[in-house]
Copies of this chain bind each other. A is one copy, B any other.
Amino acid sequence: MITALGGGVGAAKFLSGLIKLNLNEKINIIVNTADDITVGGLRISPDIDTIIYTLSGNVNTDRKWGLEGDTFNCLAALSRFGIYGWFNLGDKDLATHLYRTHLRSLGYTYTQITSKIAKSYGLDDLNILPMSDTDVETWISTNKGEMHFQEYLVKEKMLPEVKSVYIKGIENAKASEQVIDSILSANTIILCPSNPIISIGPILKVAGVRDAIKKSKAKKIAISPLVGGVPLKGPADKLMRAEGLEVSSTQVAKLYQDFIDEMIIDIKDKSEAKRIEKLGIKTTILDTVMKNEADSINLAQKILKT
């Protein structure tokens, strides 16, 4: 059994390779839900949706998020009211948010809801788990004020200066039984190449998760999301800096130092290998840039062989 932890696009790309290996092992994916947001009463889980859309082959391959062939007529109509114009809200994508919100109003947990959505997208064999059934939201304090992470990312295009990051509600978030089981029963635990502050970070902060990973007898591997010292996408560098951290794969390794056995870093960061090895972590240098599915498959295969 393989259990992966991850956030959005980086994780989705890696996992799309992993599942194509057709291993005879169950795959669990614990997904960050800290960048979830409520828009006009609809609960939106961007990372969950990106994973489901990507792994089911429905993601828009240019944008890497949202659905292929989607339209944005609702979003355009929202401009009349001057709200949410900045948000990425596809018309077909909206159906997922309506379904999630509908099930939630009936009392289903996020774990149950995610399972239902994944099954509706034909992902019967995968066990996609939200990190928690509790509402958690990432907020960013910037020179332009406090804002939800989605607002910082999408509306403000990561331009404001980040002062600090805080995960609202994380102190109340508990891990579900399924999350803990998937960690304790795994042979291999993989931290996908996702943002260590706002994707992997929140998962590890959910009560019970970090302890379960430490307790698990699995081999624990982390893939650095940095390539040449910078993230391929997203604000990992800005957020690490705001947290007073060095922006490097060595620093990423330090964040997981208490539990990982192995760190995967990109060939562009090979000079860091020695520093990471000094932390007592086996370090493997690979080409971690996934430009297409073949790259993803190749990377997953190599990581499982190390």
A residues near B, CB below 8 A?
A: 38-43, 67, 70-71, 73-78, 80-81, 83-84, 91-99, 101-102, 104-105, 116-117, 120-121
Contact = CB atoms under 8 A, between A and B. Distances in A.
A95 B77 contact: yes
Contact of A92 (B73, B96, B104, B105): B73
Q: Specify the main secondary structure of chain A where it touches its partner.
A: helix
A83 B96 CA distance: 11
Nearest to A82: B120
Contacts of A97: 40
28 contacts: A38-B105, A39-B102, A40-B97, A40-B98, A40-B99, A40-B105, A41-B42, A41-B43, A42-B101, A71-B71, A71-B73, A71-B91, A74-B74, A74-B92, A74-B94, A74-B98, A76-B92, A77-B92, A77-B93, A77-B96, A78-B98, A80-B120, A81-B95, A81-B96, A81-B99, A83-B98, A91-B91, A91-B94
A120 B121 CA distance: 37
A136 to B, nearest CB: 19
Contact of A40 (B70, B74, B102): B102
Contacts of A43: 41
Given A74-B92, A76-B92, A83-B99, 20 more contacts: A38-B105, A39-B102, A40-B42, A40-B98, A41-B41, A41-B43, A41-B98, A41-B104, A42-B42, A70-B73, A71-B71, A73-B73, A73-B91, A77-B91, A77-B95, A77-B96, A80-B95, A80-B121, A81-B96, A81-B116
> How many identical chains are in the complex?
2
A40 B101 contact: yes
Contacts of A117: 81
A75 B97 CA distance: 12
The 8 closest A-B CB pairs, nearest first, are A40-B98, A77-B95, A41-B101, A77-B92, A73-B91, A41-B41, A40-B102, A81-B99
A69 to B, nearest CB: 9
Contacts of A96: 77, 81
A168 to B, nearest CB: 17
A91 B76 CA distance: 10
